[in-house]
Amino acid sequence: MHFQYWLDNFWSLSVGGLTQGAIYALVALGYTLVYGVLRLINFAHSEVFMTGTFAVIIAWNAVGYDLNAGRPGTGTVIALLALGLVAASLTSAGTALLVERVAYRPLRRKNPPSLVFLITAIGASVVLFESVGLMTDRKLKGAITLVQPKEVFSFFGATVDNVQIIIIVSAIVMMFGLEQFINRTRLGRGVRAVAQNPDAAALMGVNRDRVIMLIFMIGGLMAGGAALLHIIKVGSTQYDVGFILGVKAFAAAVLGGIGNLRGALLGGLLLGLVENWGAGVFGSEWMNVVPFACLVLILMFRPTGLLGESLGRARA
């Protein structure tokens, strides 16, 4: 037990937990959207995130900014970050649409049992996981450090740097933008209609297949944003980078209330906090144990998650 260490570093652990939790939250949005509309757990979403991380590094390498490149200027950094975001978002969204088109759509037309969808999701995940592993020789791939961590301010002994601010603020902005899109646009109303009652939505002229493609694409875009933030924070990726992170993001979605957009954000941030606090108290080797133990305890008392509202009933 390292309780005194936890007390002494409470605020530093909290800031680090919120930073990692923001990435969990963005990935959790993909699970929440798909489940909210299809009642399907898309286990391939972790690999959707993983392909985005590789896309960032490949895009930067393609324009000459690899690990051997010199430190770029501010304008170049902004341009490279924009390039990385576009590359990751397009790659992750394209991967998500490919999974939906190849793995899930043919099954929906045959209306199989839910277990078939679950096994297919796991199969799609393994195919992507192993394919990228073979293409990269299962080696770690590093990225140039575009954003050097610099202290912005401190409080109660905790230092907050520019990288942490970028990650947390970006995640909240993307979450807010997605919620506004779902609640205030015509396409968003279509998503909520299909989530609430697909048959009634079809009678009202909502194209269910188009809505499903839309939610997979949006989930991919959110995962692409998370992929860029992960590269900024960690600086490297590997074929299995999405495995544990994807499991934690799914846990975050369940914790907040799967099918609930705000629940995904709350669950992600809370899971990141508990993960870091647990590591501070029990040691880093317990980092992957404590959050899931807390998840089980919370679900015993709140089986629908902390917020528990479905996507079909979501309001601004």
What is the band of 289 on the pLDDT scale with cuts at 50, 70, 90? confident
Residue 311 has pLDDT above 90, yes or no: no
pTM (predicted TM-score): 0.91
Residue 177 has pLDDT above 70, yes or no: yes
Cα radius of gyration (the chain): 20
Residue 210 has pLDDT above 80, yes or no: yes
- Distance CA(228)–CA(234), nearest Å, equals 10
Residue 301 has pLDDT above 90, yes or no: no
What is the average pLDDT across 169-178?
Answer: 92
Range scoring the smallest mean pLDDT among 74-78, 244-248, 305-309: 305-309
Tens digits of per-residue pLDDT, 144-160? Answer: 888 888 887 888 777 88
* Per-residue confidence (pLDDT) for residue 1, from 0 to 100: 56
* Per-residue confidence (pLDDT) for residue 312, from 0 to 100: 53
* Per-residue confidence (pLDDT) for residue 285, from 0 to 100: 77
Q: Give yes or no for a contact between 281 and 14, defined as CB atoms under 8 angstroms apart.
A: no
Report CA dihedral (169, 172, 175, 179) to the nearest 10 degrees. -130
What is the average pLDDT across 240-261?
Answer: 88
What is the average pLDDT across 297-309?
Answer: 79
Q: Which residue in the block uniquely carries the two structure tokens 């609430």?
A: 196
Of residues 11 and 146, more confidently modeled: 146
- Distance CA(37)–CA(191), nearest Å, equals 7
Tens digits of per-residue pLDDT, 30-89? Answer: 999 998 888 888 989 999 999 999 999 999 999 888 888 777 888 889 999 999 999 999
Q: Taking Cα atoms as reference points, which of 25, 299, 44 lies closest to residue 179?
A: 25
Residue 229 has pLDDT above 90, yes or no: yes
- Distance CA(38)–CA(243), nearest Å, equals 22
* Per-residue confidence (pLDDT) for residue 86, from 0 to 100: 96
SS3 labels along the chain: CCHHHHHHCHHHHHHHHHHHHHHHHHHHHHHHHHHHHHCCCCCCHHHHHHHHHHHHHHHHHHCCCCCCCCCCCHHHHHHHHHHHHHHHHHHHHHHHHHHHHHHHHHHHHHCCCHHHHHHHHHHHHHHHHHHHHHHCCCCCEECCCCCCCCEEEEECCEEEEHHHHHHHHHHHHHHHHHHHHHHHCHHHHHHHHHHHCHHHHHHCCCCHHHHHHHHHHHHHHHHHHHHHHHHHHHCEECCCHHHHHHHHHHHHHHHHCCCCHHHHHHHHHHHHHHHHHHHHHHCHHHCCCHHHHHHHHHHHHCCCCCCCCCHHHCCC
* Per-residue confidence (pLDDT) for residue 283, from 0 to 100: 75
Q: Give yes or no for a contact between 219 and 30, defined as CB atoms under 8 angstroms apart.
A: yes
- Distance CA(193)–CA(28), nearest Å, equals 21
* Per-residue confidence (pLDDT) for residue 66, from 0 to 100: 84
- Distance CA(124)–CA(137), nearest Å, equals 20
Tens digits of per-residue pLDDT, 104-128? Answer: 888 888 888 878 888 999 999 999 9
Residue 315 has pLDDT above 60, yes or no: no
Q: Give yes or no for a contact between 87 and 216, defined as CB atoms under 8 angstroms apart.
A: no
* Per-residue confidence (pLDDT) for residue 205, from 0 to 100: 81
Of residues 35 and 199, more confidently modeled: 35
- Distance CA(97)–CA(103), nearest Å, equals 10
